[in-house]
Structure 1
Amino acid sequence: MLGYFIDMEDTGFQDILREFRAGREDRGRKMVERLDGLGMDITWEEVERIADGAAVGRPHIAQALIERGYVSVWQEAFDKYLGRTGPAYVERTRLEPEEAVRVLLDNGALPVMAHPLYYEREDTRKLKDLVTSLKEAGMVGLEVHYGEFSESEIDMLANIAAELDLIPCGGSDYHASGKPGEIIPGEAGPPMSTIEALREMKGVARAL
């Protein structure tokens, strides 16, 4: 779930973020331990150095594997070790989508569903039912434009967004992974009308 116009001064929201950061650190340490058990000599200190103060995630662990010469690019690290079916994968702490919508609304942010086809790709009716339930919970937008979506998928999502009166959002989801063909910022995303619709809903002045 994406949140637009988040109030970063909201202490309750920051408390939730601290809980998630602690969960991410615990998860990261466990993944490093699993890699060690697989014979890969990387340390938590290396991963923290790569993260450079940011919350540690799998991309930082993947970079440590690259620097040690165990893999060549991020995608190889995910395919072999860090992906959902990989031997070093550890499930993360997460909110259910409805909970995430509530947290963002309590903060005053605009909730938008990210990567909808990750939830359901085969059954359009099931996907629409999920999006409808989140709309009823207060979600205001749907990620329609995304680098990995086909034109037919974008059209299908745009139709769902239009039917449910959701703002069609999107982006490149760029992670600098080194994956061949990775979409870079500016190559995928929504039209400027999306930005204006979000601003209007939030009551934010139009950019000059």
Structure 2
Amino acid sequence: MTDTPTGIDLHTHSTASDGTLSPAELVQAAAAEGLRVVALTDHDTTAGWAAAAASRPAGLTLIRGTEISCRWYGAEPAVPLHLLGYLFDPTDRALRAELDRVRAARTVRGERTVDLLRADGIDVTWAEVLGYAAGGSVGRPHIAQALIRAGLVADTTEAFAPRWLGERYRLPKDDIDVFAAVKLVRDAGGVTVFAHPRASRRGRIVPDSLIVELAAAGLTGLEADHTDHSPAERAHVHRLAAELGLVATGSSDFHGSHKTVQLGAWTTGVAAYERLVSAASGVPPI
């Protein structure tokens, strides 16, 4: 590739899902931070792509993607996990249908969660949560905003504690089988990276044997450098990626004010970025 980029952040969220910056604001903020490449990866949606592309500052390359809600059914109970899908054709019917289904399930889960909170006398409403989502994919951070507004928690981190949305008021949702998700993205011309695969502080993690199977099924990379990985976990993911011939990436997982991590806090190397782009055939970087 010519014009080799530096400053590559491949995992960010906007108001199209659970971030606090609009897609337009996000690409402007990425440029202001000195990034050369940013990926928009809202949860289970491509709704922010057009606005981000239209507002992309000169000198910033945009990678269009999504973070896909998946599940591995090789354990009991099944383990939730996330795949980052990049550079796929958003008009692919099979992938689009599955993303639509998962987003609808997110909405149902959100409304049921609010019902549980209200049944316990907690002053939140579904209309308020939808207002925070602003037409984007509904997630727990939007319910957290309602809890913050009600004075029940100080911030999103406290809202995600076991007393609240981390356990007591956390409901299951429909996800996509992880092997099916890898195939759907590949068939749509894209590439997949396993998001924060060793982040034990988030909860259960999958065994390395699953990642071996996913690599054989077409997984392209592993997100190694991430704020929720300890130094040992980062090192482990880098070693595993090297052993399996997978791309090792680094990303901020930026959500705006919902989290303290900043754009570009972790970044991807140029060679890794170029491998991802060269492996995709859906939509190119812009």
Same fold by TM-score greater than 0.5: yes
Contact 1:169–1:189 (Cα < 8 Å) also in 2: yes
- Aligned residue-pair number: 201
* Cα distance in 2 for residues equivalent to 1:81 and 1:6: 36
Contact 2:89–2:282 (Cα < 8 Å) also in 1: no
Partner of 2:132: 50
Offset from partner CA, 1:64-108 (integer Å, 9 cap, x none): 11112221101111113101x2x2110111122212112211222
Q: How far does residue 11 in structure 1 lie from its aligned partner after superposition?
A: 2.5
Partner of 1:159: 239
Q: Secondary structure at the match of 1:81?
A: coil
Partner of 2:19: none
* Cα distance in 1 for residues equivalent to 2:227 and 2:112: 31
Q: Secondary structure at the match of 1:63?
A: helix
Gaps of 5+ in 2: 1-82
Gaps of 5+ in 1: none
**In the alignment, which of 47, 70, 76 is matched to residue 158 of structure 2?**
76
Q: How does 1:185-196 map to 2 (within 5 A)?
A: 185-196=263-274
1:3 matched to 2:58: no
TM-score relative to the length of structure 2: 0.64
Partner of 1:129: 209
Question: Against the structure 1 CA distance between its residues 69 and 127, is the aligned structure 2 distance closer, same or farther, given a 3 Å change threshold?
Answer: same
1:100 matched to 2:178: no
Partner of 2:192: 111
The amino acid across from 2:173 in the alignment is R
Greater relative contact order (Cα < 8 A, sep 6+): 2
Larger Rg: 1
Contact 2:196–2:228 (Cα < 8 Å) also in 1: no
Contact 1:3–1:112 (Cα < 8 Å) also in 2: yes
* Cα distance in 2 for residues equivalent to 1:72 and 1:5: 37
* Cα distance in 1 for residues equivalent to 2:261 and 2:188: 31
Q: How far does residue 129 in structure 1 lie from its aligned partner after superposition?
A: 1.2
Over the matched positions of the two proteins, sequence identity in percent amounts to 35
Contact 2:249–2:268 (Cα < 8 Å) also in 1: yes
Q: How far does residue 189 in structure 1 lie from its aligned partner after superposition?
A: 2.4
Q: How far does residue 204 in structure 1 lie from its aligned partner after superposition?
A: 8.9
**Which structure: greater helix fraction?**
1
Contact 1:75–1:177 (Cα < 8 Å) also in 2: no
Contact 1:196–1:206 (Cα < 8 Å) also in 2: no
Q: How far does residue 120 in structure 1 lie from its aligned partner after superposition?
A: 11
Q: How much is the aligned-residue C-alpha RMSD, in angstroms?
A: 2.5
